[in-house]
Amino acid sequence: MNDAIQFDVIVIGAGPGGYVAAIRCAQLGLRTGLVERSETFGGTCLNVGCIPSKALLDSSHRYFEITQRAEPHGIVVENVRLDLATMMARKDQVVRTLASGLASLFEANKVVTFRGHASLRSVSQVAVAADDEAPQLLVAKHVVLATGSVPAQLPDLPFDHELVVDSTDALCFDVVPHQLVVVGGGAVGLELASVWARLGAKVTVVEMMDQLLPGCDRQVSRMLHRILTGQGIDVMTQSSVVNLEKVNGRGRVMVKSGQDKTTELSADKILVAVGRRPFALGLGLEDIGVVTEDKTGQILVNDNFMTNIAGIYAVGDVVGAPMLAHKAEAEGIAVAEIIAGKPGQVNYEAIPNVVYTAPEVAVVGKTQQQLRNAGIQYEAGVFHFRSNGRALAADSREGFVKILADRRTDRVLGVHIIGPWASDLIAEAVEVMEFGGSAEDIARTVHAHPTLSEVVGEAAMAVGNRSIHSVPRKP
């Protein structure tokens, strides 16, 4: 082993949590080393998650708009042909561009990067083993673990990465499957179901719970269910796969719904998208006594992201839900500031969650059910995109904004959006909630006309039953 290299901070994992932590540590004057075992930086999000899926969602949406929705706009297009290889190449180029940008950021911030598998030799020592090279020993007072997560498996549907696939596989099909069964009606399952349905696959989504996007606002979930069904996606809730037979490379799937109904589905591909689990394999946590949760494997940390071992921290998916890239980034910044002796924190009540279907779903804060269960009295304001001029002009009229505010103080407690560009519209709500703002604050904010943001303003006014462009609720 080579001589030890000294750092103030060593970060293990270059995904959203890790690379952000490393850059912020460097900005704060800490000599920082960053270890990544993969060939590219960016983790799951950049390489096989958020970014490539959004590239395919955008491409497939354009294809769908041209083939299915162009004529009402006076656009007549004939002989449209799908070139899936080119679509995939564009997706890969987007990923490469962003990954190379990260390398430039590390260099500019003087973050020293290492390729290889990292393992903890002691509280302050990290060994990095790369292929055909002598291991390197890194030493630092502070170590940040940001090793992310991997797709969760079902015992009865193990991945073979040919018929039964995970989300990574589903980003790389070389042909459009004729029939695709998606097990799991969460964000990942619905986004990938949308991609392949738009490109011509017959898609069936099987969800064990009684609604799509379990835990989401029920009104939002019901509308999304209806819209996706209208887009040709079959949805089976309160259902589960009970048997799979492989016949000539295809699958025969038996799905049980309710008490006694059984449905047989054929599939060229079966995508299992039932969530993710923390990944900390091979770090040597048990050797130095870092405590993890027995069932999930997540690393347990305190409010300062420190494990039970002083000097060892963890952020991102490896510490558990919500497993979101922007949550990991926020934790990465916070842990860097804490290590540097500054106050660092994350407001978990104001972390948005987005599903990039068409229309999009974006939520932050509490649902009505959660408020009822907690005994919190609230007022709800709802405004629909169908009453918004910009939405009608853009032929994007489906959906609504719902704002929930404390009945006594008017403080915004939750915002739920289904509609066009919900992913961007939610930012206003997040900012208001971050500063403890009220529905009145949103209502009195001037929103440009004509824009989709006016729907947010109208929903805020509807909290007080004074929306201008909708019929008032009866007292």
Task: Quote the pLDDT of residue 474.
Answer: 59
| pLDDT, mean of residues 81-106 | 97
Q: Could you report the per-residue pLDDT of 262-291, keeping only the tens digit for each?
A: 999 999 999 999 999 999 999 999 999 999
Whole-prediction pTM = 0.95
Q: Please report which confidence band the pLDDT of residue 392 belongs to, taking 50, 70 and 90 as the band edges.
A: very high
How far, in Å, CA of 414 to CA of 367, rounded? 6
The SS3 of residue 287 is helix
Residue 87: pLDDT above 90? yes
Q: Do the beta carbons of residue 275 and residue 152 sit within 8 Å?
A: yes
- Domains of the chain, each with CATH number or no CATH: 5-151+277-346 (3.50.50.60), 164-274 (3.50.50.60), 350-463 (3.30.390.30)
Residue 381: closest CA among 438, 465, 441? 465
| pLDDT, mean of residues 251-264 | 92
Active site residues: 449
| pLDDT, mean of residues 370-382 | 97
Which residues in 279-317 are b (16+ Cβ under 10 Å) and which e? Answer: bbeebebeebebebeeeebbbebeeebbbeeeebbbbbb
13-to-70, 377, 450 alpha-carbon distances in Å:
44, 43, 44
Q: Could you report the per-residue pLDDT of 413-434, keeping only the tens digit for each?
A: 999 999 999 999 999 999 999 9
Alpha helices in 144-200 (DSSP H): 187-198
Q: Please report which confidence band the pLDDT of residue 118 belongs to, taking 50, 70 and 90 as the band edges.
A: very high
Residue 470: pLDDT above 90? no
Peptide bond into 16 cis (omega under 30): no
Residue 269: closest CA among 149, 168, 150, 152? 168
Q: Could you report the per-residue pLDDT of 17-71, keeping only the tens digit for each?
A: 999 999 999 999 999 999 999 989 999 999 999 999 999 999 999 999 999 999 9
Residue 1: pLDDT above 80? no
Percent pLDDT > 70 in the chain is 99
The string of DSSP letters for 38-72 reads SSSSSHHHHHHSHHHHHHHHHHHHHHHHHHHSSGG
Mean pLDDT of the chain: 96
Q: Which amino acid is at 1?
A: M
Task: Quote the pLDDT of residue 475.
Answer: 53
- Say which residues have a Cβ less than 8 Å from residue 366's Cβ, sequence separation at least 6: 374, 376, 404, 413, 414
Residue 176: pLDDT above 60? yes
Residue 153: pLDDT above 80? yes
| pLDDT, mean of residues 348-353 | 97
| pLDDT, mean of residues 443-448 | 98
Residue 132: pLDDT above 80? no
Task: Quote the pLDDT of residue 2.
Answer: 67
Task: Quote the pLDDT of residue 260.
Answer: 82
Q: What is the DSSP letter of 386?
A: G
Element containing residue 313 per DSSP (H, E): strand 312-314
CB atoms within 10 A of CB 413: 25
* CA 4 to the chain's CA centroid: 38
How far, in Å, CA of 134 to CA of 1, rounded? 6
